[in-house]
Structure formats: C-alpha cells, structure tokens
Amino acid sequence: MHIAYPTIATLVVFISSVAGSESLTSTVSDQAKALIASSYDYNVGYEIIESLTTEVGPRQAGSEAEERARRWGIGKLEQLGFSNVRIEPFDVEFWQRRSERAEIIAPFPQALAITSLGGSVGTPADGVHGEVARFSTLQALQDAPAEGLKGKIVFVDELMTRTQDGSGYGVAVAKRSGAANEAGKRGAVAALIRSVGTDHHRFPHTGQMIYNTDGAKVPIAALAAPDADQLQRALSRGTVEVKLELDVQSMGQRTSGNVLGEIPGSGDEIILIGAHLDSWDLGTGAIDDGAGIGITVAAAKLILDMKKIPKRTIRVVMFGSEEVGLIGAQAYAKRHLDELDLHIIGTESDFGAGKIWRLDSRVAQSQRHKISAIHKILQPLGISLGDNQASGGPDMGPMRKLGMPVVSLKQNGWDYFDFHHTADDTLDKINRADITQNVAAYAAFIWMVANMPGDFRVTKSQSDNATTPSQKD
Amino acid sequence: MHIAYPTIATLVVFISSVAGSESLTSTVSDQAKALIASSYDYNVGYEIIESLTTEVGPRQAGSEAEERARRWGIGKLEQLGFSNVRIEPFDVEFWQRRSERAEIIAPFPQALAITSLGGSVGTPADGVHGEVARFSTLQALQDAPAEGLKGKIVFVDELMTRTQDGSGYGVAVAKRSGAANEAGKRGAVAALIRSVGTDHHRFPHTGQMIYNTDGAKVPIAALAAPDADQLQRALSRGTVEVKLELDVQSMGQRTSGNVLGEIPGSGDEIILIGAHLDSWDLGTGAIDDGAGIGITVAAAKLILDMKKIPKRTIRVVMFGSEEVGLIGAQAYAKRHLDELDLHIIGTESDFGAGKIWRLDSRVAQSQRHKISAIHKILQPLGISLGDNQASGGPDMGPMRKLGMPVVSLKQNGWDYFDFHHTADDTLDKINRADITQNVAAYAAFIWMVANMPGDFRVTKSQSDNATTPSQKD
C-alpha cells in the first residue's frame, strides 16, 4: 500500500492539472484582471463604510439602530443599482446596556474601566461587592475546588496571544462564557475577565456570553487590559475588594433581519457573499463589520459597473444579529434550504480592514485545482495560497455545515483585536488603500466563481470531518 | 561697531572658558559620572511610579484621593531616608465630575465620547441641546459676529500639531477657556472642543478652563478625536442637533498641600527639584505626573545612597494642585519668599516619561558656561545642549518669575499628548529604560549643582524680558 501511493498521487496531480487548465477561460481571467486594474482608484468601499458608520453608527442586534441600519442597507443597495433588494426578517433576543461601573473599594479606592458582556444579567441596583479571587487562566478556575469562592468575585486574568491569523481568539474567548458559568457553580457573586483583546489601552472589550442552562447566573464584565494589570498589582499587595454595578437587561424578542441584494445571473446558480450589518453598541462598528459591508458591496458594485450578465447570480447579504450568535446566518440557511444545491460557493468578509494575505478554501479535494487557478489571478495582490480548511467567515457557518463550499480571503488580523468590540472601533482605524486591495480581490474572485464552469462541491463526509476553524474568520 | 564685535565675542568666549574650567571640580564631575554609572540597573524610579499609581491611583486636586497621595508621599520619603519630611498645606477649590454624557439626537442618533473640562459649570439635570455651529479654529469663533449663535452649541474643531518639544500644546490649549468664553458671549447654550491631544483613540482629554469674570458661564466638554471627526462628517451632511448632560460642580474650598523632603546640605543654600503629586481624575496619572515624582525622588535617593553630605540642601517637592492652576507652586513661592535668594537653581520633571534629549537653562548669561560644563557630563546620555530660555517646568514658574534660575531637562514629548489628561494615562505607558535615563540625568545634574561653586543668578531684567515658554514643560 505504501508503494502504491506515489503512483496514485502522481495521477491525481496530473488530472488536477488538466482540469485546472480547463477551469478558467482566458476571457474570464482577463475580465478578473481588468476588475483588479479598475479598482486602483476605486473608493466606493471606503465610502460605504464611512456612510454606514456615520449615518447609523452603533447598530446592536435587535435594537432600533439595527433597524435603521437595515433601512440604510436597502437605500444603499437600491442606489447602487442592485436587483431584488429586500429584507428577510427574523426575531432576536435584545439585550440592553444602560450603565455600568466598577471600583476597587479597598484597600486602594479607584474606578476600574469595565464593560458588561452581552447576555450578562445585571447586578442589584446597589451593586455587588466581594473579595477578588484571581485565576491566571480559565483552566485554573475550572481546576479549583468547588468550595472557597462563595461570596467572592472571580477574576480570570488570562492573556490573549497576538497573531496575524486571529488564532489567539479561539483560545481566549472561552473565558467569556466559562468564567461566569464556573463562578456561578462555585457560589461567587460575580465574575470579571481580562478583556479578550490584544491592545494596551483603557478600552474594555465586550462580546456575547451564554449561561449554562443549569447553573446560577452571575453578572460578568470585562476589564480593560490596564485595569486587569492594576487589579493584579493590587492583589499582589494583599486582599482586594471590588464593587460592581451593572444595569443591563435582556429585553425580550425584537425584530432583526438580513438585507439582500443581487446581480441576477443568466442561470439559477448563486454565489453568496456577505458581511454582517450589526455591531456591538460601544463603537461605530467600522472594522467589525462595516469594513466587510463596504468591501463586499463595493466589489459587487464594481462588477455591476461592467454591465455584463454573470452566469450565476451574485447575492450580497448583509447579515443581521451576527454578534449575538449568528442568528441572521441561521435564519438565512433555514429560509434558503431549498436553494442549498444552487449555492455554488460562499464567502464572508468579517475580520476587519487589513490587507488580504491568503486564500483558503473548503472545497472537494478534486475541485481544489480551481482554487489554484483563481489564486494565480489574485497572487499579484500579495495573496498566497493557503489550505483547504477555510471557515468562510462566521455567517457562512450554517450553510457550510450543510455542504456549501466556501473560501476565506484572509485578512491581516495583527491589530484587529486591538479594537474588536470596543468603543475604539471607529472609522479612523480604517486604511483606504487596504480596503481597495480587499475590494479588488473580492471583485476578481466573485467574477471568476460566477462564470467558471463546474462545481466546488464538498462531499458530505469531508464536511463532517472538517477541523473546526480556530480563528474568528 | 560691527568691526569691534568679534573681538568682544572672542574675549567673552575666553573668559567663559576659563570660568568653565573652574566651575566644576574633577571630584564633583567624577561623582556625577559615578551616579550615572550606578543608575544603570536602578529601578527605584519605576517602582515609585508603580507604587503611587497603584496604591493611590487618580488623585485630583482637592480630593480625598489627593490627601491619600500626600500620606503616600510622606510615607515614601520617610521610608527612603529623606530628612525634614513634611506637608505644607494650602486651600484649593475642589471641582467634581459625577457623570457626563453627550449624543447626536438628530439626524443620526448616537453617543459621543466626551469629558467635561475642569472648572466647567454643569448642565441642568435634563441637559441642554441645540444645533451645532462648527468653527475650524478658535480664531474663527473669535472673528464670528456676535449674533447667530443664540441657543446653539458651539464646536471648536481645532487640531493640535504633534511635536517632540510639546510646542503644539501652547497653541491648542487656548480653546479650552476660549471656546466657552466666546460661546457665552454670543448666547450659545454650551461649547464643545476637539480634545487638546494628538491621539486617535476614543479618549476625550480633560484639563482646566477658566471663565472670564464678566461673561455668561456655559458648560464645556471635549470630544475624543474620533468623535470630533464623526461630528464633522455628520455636519457635512447638514444640520446636527446634539444633547449634553454634564453633572459636574465646583464644591468649594478644600485642603491641598505640598509634600517636602530634603537631603540636608552643609550650607544654607537650596537646590529645588520637584514634580506634581496631583493628577486628573480620569487616569491614574502615570505620565502626568507620576513619572516626574518617580524620576526626581529616585534621583535624590541615588544621591542619598552615596552617603555624602552635599554643599547645598537638595529639596524635593511634590507639588499639590498643579493641574488646576499651579496652586501648590504659588503656595510654595509665597511661603518660601524669605528663602528666595538661597534657591540656587530649580527644575521640575513634568512632561511625561520619555527620554531626556536636551538641556535648556535660564541663568545669567555670564553663568551659562556652567551649564555647558554640566552638559558635558550629561551628553553621553544622549542629551544635547539647548537654549537659555527654559521654563524649568510649570511648578517652577512662580519662583522663576521671582528670579530663581532654572533648567529644563527636556523629555521627548512625541507621544505625551496621546495620553495627557485621559483615562489612558496608566502605568503601562511607561518605559522603564527611559525612566532610568531620566533618573541618571537628574541625579548627576542635582549633584553637580549642589556642589559646584558660585551662583546662576538671572538678572531681574533678563527675567522680565524672557520669552514665555511655548511648550508645557
């Protein structure tokens, strides 16, 4: 068996190579190159981000502001000339932050910069207070005995690793739900975490947490990195007492929705691209995910302006309520289940505004040569060819799990978690030239997959066996 | 007369050169060099900053926290072995920030990151609102007609220039008082300014403002730079209405004070060094001015550890209530007026935690050669010789105006105004190696001026004619 392998491998390479040469016509690749060339001074991506973050600003899932964002989305897609522009509504639980405050009350009285995690219960109006019990990692808290934390405030002080591909996030984010659930089990009155972030500014990072169905629900907030340091220094001198006042609440079901627009193709098949429209409430959602909205809509607009009918319909989706658990993506998959086989490939832009440096895919291995052919066109943009383990972006998750092939046009995420889910996620963090590079890559990619022959289908077993993507995108 | 000049100049150089060689004995300069060498792995400066910012944290002028800072100062100076450790109390007006909030209410409802300026009056409990009238500079507001602003919110959107020496500050800071006073004169209901700062994070910068005695007092707050941008973008689309709720108040007179400690000299003369103990309430006052406290106290401690009695007393002063108008410095000058002539030279460290790059002085021109001699010892630390127009630091101002010679060991202020007067002024912004360089320079400087013969006296006329220092230090 060992000896037979090289022969088969050689054969596969040979077939792939032949298929590759057939996958992309010179007409389509020339059109893709022309799209890249025409994007050089194309500023529409940035203009869309500017418009959304200015005219709507923060747009939390289920809020009145998210409704305004949908109206903005409809107006923008119609104005740009997209077809079949519509809202597909669904319900979502709306969680509201009203005020929040924390302080060291002894031995060194001073305020701490914190923010509640989304979904947290509030404290009583006069707050909760208790002695702080610090754990350097979530694992250390999980390993702690069941007793000894009654009445205390648990503090999980785990640091996040800065990486280009965001792989530090998957590890660090576990404490968001984990800290409150472990604290609740052990009788603690509240939980604090060092923010899931990589910056050293005084911005706490919010983000969704989910309670276990069976445990006590204790309030949880994130400390800004300088405040986690400060608490650590105070604790190194002895016992520290902290007070926490969180006026936050789950307000029940509200209407949310996905906004869709299309460039109709000559056939029934669909290319799915998107980003998410909602943001956290603290910033104006420029990098998360105004950037993705700007990049994908501008890329499709660049194609619209070619005035050529693609073979496949290009469907742009602005997903609602991503931040609170991919609610819009699940609603999309449910509503479009009968179209599943028509979805040829999908991709989402939701990892900020950095340059794209890598093209990953998740397609049938037998179709991987088409990704290589596509990559050759994108390579001049500074994009390398990655692996076949792409997530496709969070909102592609439900459709990917049903078998839809995906790619990830992976952005440089080196500083993404400096701003992610903070008040500091604002337009000034966006570099116009980087947005232009993203738009060029998306436009060329979309045009190629919308017009090249054949399918990218992943076999069912490959989909099930796939490694869970470890990074956010 | 032209022809005579070179001769006189040559003569002056000759005399200076002779005097210079007499100004600093080889024993004293060798001791100064030894102080620099011994500071290489000396971490006391950083440790003092860490202690103050952790164990006290924010310490606003006149607050209970500033009282705790004085107790901390007494404890620290006694523990380190200083003599004559004491508090010299005085009264100060205490202004309190309780809560503050601003939002665009139309046409794009969203919160704005703002902070009240120190000394501002509050708004009524339900806030003030009005249409925003933007001025790109304070001058443009000053030039505006008296009518047309009634009921509006004036917005002075002037940018500050980033510089190494902080010279952008003097220009930019004028709007802090100017915007409110001009707005009040014209019937506006409130004033907003773009923060006096150079960062692009969502931190508004506070700072003291003073009302004219004769005008209407309108509330004033600073916008973080991204929020000033946002307001500018909203205004570029048409009329914008903003609401402002500032719960702030002047609370009347409270006790503040200066904390003093000494290394007694063999004679009556005094070398005055210091920094200010108070900070604004938003951050923990690490760069402003925990750094100065750490640098000056550690430098004096390095000298204490030599166990040699200096010729002159080295007096370390932690000034109170600097931020609200140099109240501690004025109290010091008043109380020590009878000692004025004994004050040989003074200097304050109050420009952050960057490396020292230049030695400026303000001494009699005939004594300037001594500064050159001192500079030769400091030069290996990367310090250049500057001009004879030093301010000596804000808290040296009252004594300098009375004729006390000063120097400024000027720090690199490139990023100082990124953090100055914000919540983000925390310990993590401090580089230990830079603090060590500062301590080395101060220790060597102090030892030299405490032991070298003669005086640095500025003539009265030179003092009066002096240019007002344009940068903060």
Q: Give the phi and the psi of residue B114 in degrees, each rounded to 5.
A: -135, 165
B57 closest CB neighbour out of A108, A203, A427: A108
Is B197 in CB contact (< 8 Å) with chain A? no
For CA atoms A411, A414, A419, A424, the dihedral sign is negative
Domain topology for B21-93+253-465? Aminopeptidase (3.40.630)
Interface test with A, best of B52, B68, B103, B108 (most A CBs within 10 A): B108
Question: Which chain A residues contact residue B203 at CB under 8 A?
Answer: 201-202
CA distance B131 to B145: 17
Judged on CB neighbours under 10 Å (0-12, 13-18, 19+), A350 is: buried
| Exposure string for B304-336, b = 16+ CB within 10 A, e = fewer | beeeeebbbbbbbbbbbbbbbbbbbbbbbbeeb
Q: Which of B309, B378, B321 is nearest to B87 (CA)?
A: B321
* Segment holding B10, helix H or strand E: helix B4-23
Smallest Cα distance from B47 to chain A, Å: 12
Q: What is the pLDDT of residues B39-63, one digit of tens each?
A: 988 999 999 999 999 999 999 999 9
Is B60 in CB contact (< 8 Å) with chain A? no
CB within 8 Å: B428 and A233:
no
Look up the pTM and report it.
Answer: 0.92
Predicted pLDDT at A465: 36
Distances (CA, A) of B448 to B30, B45, B119, B200, B380: 10, 20, 41, 42, 16
Q: Give the phi and the psi of residue B103 in degrees, each rounded to 5.
A: -150, 150
Count Cα atoms within 13 angstroms, Cβ side, for B296. Answer: 33
Predicted pLDDT at B80: 98
Q: How far is CA A375 from the centre of its chain?
A: 23
ipTM of the complex: 0.90
CA distance B453 to B412: 31
**CATH 3.50.30.30: which residues of chain A?**
99-250
Question: Which chain B residues contact residue A419 at CB under 8 A?
Answer: none
Count Cα atoms within 13 angstroms, Cβ side, for B196. Answer: 25
CA distance A84 to A72: 16
The share of chain B scoring above pLDDT 70, in percent, equals 92
Predicted pLDDT at A84: 98
Question: Which chain B residues contact residue A57 at CB under 8 A?
Answer: 104, 108-110, 230
A54 closest CB neighbour out of B108, B111, B201: B108
CB within 8 Å: B54 and A423:
no
CB within 8 Å: A54 and B230:
yes
CB within 8 Å: A230 and B427:
yes
| Cβ neighbours, 10 Å, residue B378 | 23
Predicted pLDDT at B49: 98
| Blockwise average pLDDT, block size 10, chain B, 473 residues | 41 44 84 96 96 98 98 98 98 98 98 98 98 98 93 97 92 94 96 97 98 94 98 98 98 98 98 98 98 98 98 98 98 98 98 98 96 98 98 98 98 97 98 98 98 81 43 42
B426 closest CB neighbour out of A58, A226, A283: A226
Mean pLDDT of A251-255: 98
Predicted pLDDT at B215: 85
Nearest-Cα residue of chain A relative to residue B426: A226
**CATH 3.40.630.10: which residues of chain A?**
20-93+253-465
Smallest Cα distance from B14 to chain A, Å: 54
Mean pLDDT of A428-445: 98
Q: Which of B414, B446, B447, B409 is nearest to B429 (CA)?
A: B414
Residue A132 near residue A223 (C-beta atoms within 8 A): no
CB within 8 Å: B428 and A226:
yes
CA distance B180 to B186: 10
CB within 8 Å: A284 and B426:
no
For residue A208, what is the DSSP state?
B
Q: What is the CA radius of gyration of chain B?
A: 24
Predicted pLDDT at A16: 42
Judged on CB neighbours under 10 Å (0-12, 13-18, 19+), B86 is: middle
CA distance A362 to A406: 5
Nearest-Cα residue of chain A relative to residue B100: A99
Nearest-Cα residue of chain B relative to residue A424: B202
Residue B287 near residue B429 (C-beta atoms within 8 A): yes
| Cβ neighbours, 10 Å, residue B103 | 17
Question: Which chain A residues contact residue B237 at CB under 8 A?
Answer: 54-55
The answer to whether residue A251 scores a pLDDT higher than 90 is yes
Listed in sequence order, the residues at least 6 apart from A63 whose beta carbon sits closer than 8 Å to its beta carbon are: A94, A96, A254, A281
Q: What is the CATH number of domain A20-93+253-465?
A: 3.40.630.10
Q: Which of A45, A46, A20, A33 is nearest to A381 (CA)?
A: A33
Judged on CB neighbours under 10 Å (0-12, 13-18, 19+), A252 is: exposed
CB within 8 Å: A423 and B202:
yes
Question: Which chain B residues contact residue A285 at CB under 8 A?
Answer: none
| Cβ neighbours, 10 Å, residue B230 | 25
Is B108 in CB contact (< 8 Å) with chain A? yes
CB within 8 Å: B110 and A58:
yes
Is A396 in CB contact (< 8 Å) with chain B? no
| HEC profile of A357-385 | EEEEEECCHHHHHHHHHHHHHHHHHCCEE
Smallest Cα distance from A110 to chain B, Å: 6
B423 closest CB neighbour out of A113, A225, A428: A113
Smallest Cα distance from B280 to chain A, Å: 13
* Segment holding A103, helix H or strand E: strand A83-106
CA distance B341 to A384: 73
Is B427 in CB contact (< 8 Å) with chain A? yes
CB within 8 Å: B54 and A230:
yes
Q: What is the pLDDT of residues A366-381, one digit of tens each?
A: 999 999 999 999 999 9
Q: What is the CA radius of gyration of chain A?
A: 24
| Cβ neighbours, 10 Å, residue A189 | 22
Smallest Cα distance from B272 to chain A, Å: 31
Is A426 in CB contact (< 8 Å) with chain B? yes
β-partners of residue A86 are A260
Count Cα atoms within 13 angstroms, Cβ side, for A294. Answer: 32
β-partners of residue A190 are A153
Q: How far is CA A37 from the centre of its chain?
A: 28
Judged on CB neighbours under 10 Å (0-12, 13-18, 19+), A149 is: buried
CB within 8 Å: A202 and B54:
no
The terminus-to-terminus CA distance of chain A in angstroms comes to 38
Predicted pLDDT at B459: 54
CB within 8 Å: A284 and B230:
yes
Question: Which chain A residues contact residue B108 at CB under 8 A?
Answer: 54-57
CB within 8 Å: B109 and A50:
no
β-partners of residue A104 are A110, A242
Q: Which of A359, A357, A468 is nearest to A414 (CA)?
A: A357
The answer to whether residue A157 scores a pLDDT higher than 90 is yes
Mean pLDDT of A33-57: 97
Nearest-Cα residue of chain B relative to residue A108: B55
Judged on CB neighbours under 10 Å (0-12, 13-18, 19+), B453 is: exposed
**CATH 3.50.30.30: which residues of chain B?**
97-250
CB within 8 Å: B234 and A54:
yes
Interface test with B, best of A426, A427, A429 (most B CBs within 10 A): A426
Smallest Cα distance from A279 to chain B, Å: 13
Is A181 in CB contact (< 8 Å) with chain B? no
B57 closest CB neighbour out of A53, A110, A426: A110
Q: Position of tokens 């893709």? A: A32
Give residue B162's identity as a one-letter amino acid code. Answer: R
Predicted pLDDT at B446: 98
CATH of A99-250, one of 3.30.70.20, 3.40.50.10800, 3.40.30.10, 3.50.30.30: 3.50.30.30
CB within 8 Å: B55 and A108:
yes
CA distance B111 to A390: 37
CB within 8 Å: A424 and B202:
yes
Question: Which chain A residues contact residue B226 at CB under 8 A?
Answer: 424, 426-428
Q: What is the pLDDT of residues B229-246, one digit of tens each?
A: 999 999 999 999 999 999
CA distance B52 to A230: 12
Nearest-Cα residue of chain B relative to residue A228: B428
Predicted pLDDT at B458: 61
CB within 8 Å: A110 and B58:
yes
**CATH 3.40.630.10: which residues of chain B?**
21-93+253-465
Mean pLDDT, chain A, rounded, equals 93
Weakest-pLDDT range from A3-17, A136-150, A198-212, A222-236:
A3-17
Is B431 in CB contact (< 8 Å) with chain A? no
Distances (CA, A) of B421 to A270, B47, B282, B391: 54, 22, 7, 21
- Report the number of secondary-structure helices (H) and strands (E) in chain B: 15, 14
Looking at domain B97-250, does it have CATH number 3.40.50.300? Answer: no
Is A280 in CB contact (< 8 Å) with chain B? no
CB within 8 Å: A226 and B427:
yes
* Segment holding B26, helix H or strand E: helix B26-38
Distances (CA, A) of A371 to A39, A214, A351, B106: 22, 46, 21, 48
Grouping H, G, I as helix, E, B as strand and the rest as coil, residue A298 is helix
Distances (CA, A) of A335 to A76, A257, A338, B73: 24, 12, 8, 67
